[in-house]
């Protein structure tokens, strides 16, 4: 029984070919392409408004040098939100429940922010490893601690996204299984459990969007320290 609960996180394959690439490419196909004419339909107008609002809010604390990352961060945000929400549909696979994918997104982007800081302002970037006013005996210890915390950042990004989505999917499956088991024996309890399941699904929709936003927001904060 426990093994079947975790089967939903196994990457599906067809004829030995992993289908995770299809799951990653599918969200981009679903977004409408803005036409060349001036007047757009409501869907494209709403999509454009959302992208503009998110980009302006994300880039407000950054200086001009960080605005070059606008396209990358906005695209990553849209990809994560769409992938997380599509994973809540029945009989679907969520690529962002795979730690390998999340680390593959977190490590290169975090490393890029560090490289940008080392190239543009190496003194300030290295100064983050030693807080101002540190007593001399504590300098070696704090440098080691700050270095470890710096390298833990991408791990925290990937694990946070993976853990939140995995826990939500498991909880939904557990409660849904309880509803099917209780329905023939105790219909009233099953209806109450189904109500809890509905509320939990709404919560997971919010978590899917919030976790995508947090992932990109933390990357922008790392970038803010280095530009």
**CA-wise closest residue to 227 among 105, 62, 109:** 62
What is the number of residues in the chain? 227
pLDDT over 90 at 111, yes or no? yes
| Backbone angles phi and psi of 108, in degrees to 5 | -65, -40
**CA-wise closest residue to 10 among 80, 100, 98:** 98
Residue 68's Cβ-side half-sphere holds a number of Cα atoms within 13 Å equal to: 7
Quick one: tokens of 134? 């540190």
Task: Indicate the helix (H) or strand (E) that contains 183.
Answer: helix 139-185
Q: What percent of the chain has pLDDT over 70?
A: 89
Minimum mean pLDDT range among 36-40, 60-64, 116-120, 151-155? 36-40
- Identify which has the larger pLDDT, 226 or 32: 226
Which residues, 6+ apart, have CB-to-CB distance to 159 below 8 Å?
99, 102
5 — pLDDT class (breaks 50, 70, 90): low
For 65-79, what is each residue's pLDDT tens digit?
A: 788 888 899 889 988
- Identify which has the larger pLDDT, 200 or 5: 200
The position carrying tokens 């190496």 is 122
Each domain of the chain, given as residue ranges in start order, spans 18-226
Q: What percent of the chain has pLDDT over 90?
A: 26
Structure letter (DSSP) for residue 32: P
The whole-number average pLDDT for the span 195-224 is: 92
Q: Using CA atoms, how far apart are residues 147 and 150, in angstroms rounded to an integer? A: 5
Looking at residue 6, its pLDDT comes to 64
pLDDT over 60 at 27, yes or no? yes
1 — pLDDT class (breaks 50, 70, 90): very low
């Amino acid at each position: 029984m426990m093994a079947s609960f975790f089967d939903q996180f196994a990457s599906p394959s067809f004829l030995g070919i992993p289908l995770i690439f299809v799951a990653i490419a599918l969200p981009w196909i679903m977004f409408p392409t803005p036409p060349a004419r001036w007047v757009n339909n409501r869907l494209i107008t709403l999509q454009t408004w959302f992208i503009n609002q998110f980009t302006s809010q994300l880039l407000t604390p950054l200086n001009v040098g960080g605005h070059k990352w606008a396209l990358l961060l906005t695209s990553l945000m849209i990809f994560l939100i769409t992938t997380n929400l599509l994973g809540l549909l029945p009989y679907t696979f969520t690529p962002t429940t795979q730690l390998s994918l999340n680390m593959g997104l977190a490590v290169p982007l975090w490393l890029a922010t560090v490289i940008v800081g080392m190239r543009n302002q190496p003194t300030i970037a290295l100064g983050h490893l030693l807080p101002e006013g540190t007593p001399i005996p504590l300098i070696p210890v704090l440098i080691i601690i700050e270095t470890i915390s710096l390298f833990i950042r991408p791990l925290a990004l990937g694990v946070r996204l993976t853990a939140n989505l995995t826990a939500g999917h498991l909880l939904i499956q557990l409660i849904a299984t309880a509803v099917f088991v209780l329905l023939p024996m105790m219909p009233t309890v099953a209806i109450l459990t189904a109500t809890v399941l509905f509320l939990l699904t709404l919560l997971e929709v919010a978590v899917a969007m919030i976790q995508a936003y947090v992932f990109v927001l933390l990357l922008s904060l790392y970038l803010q320290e280095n530009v």
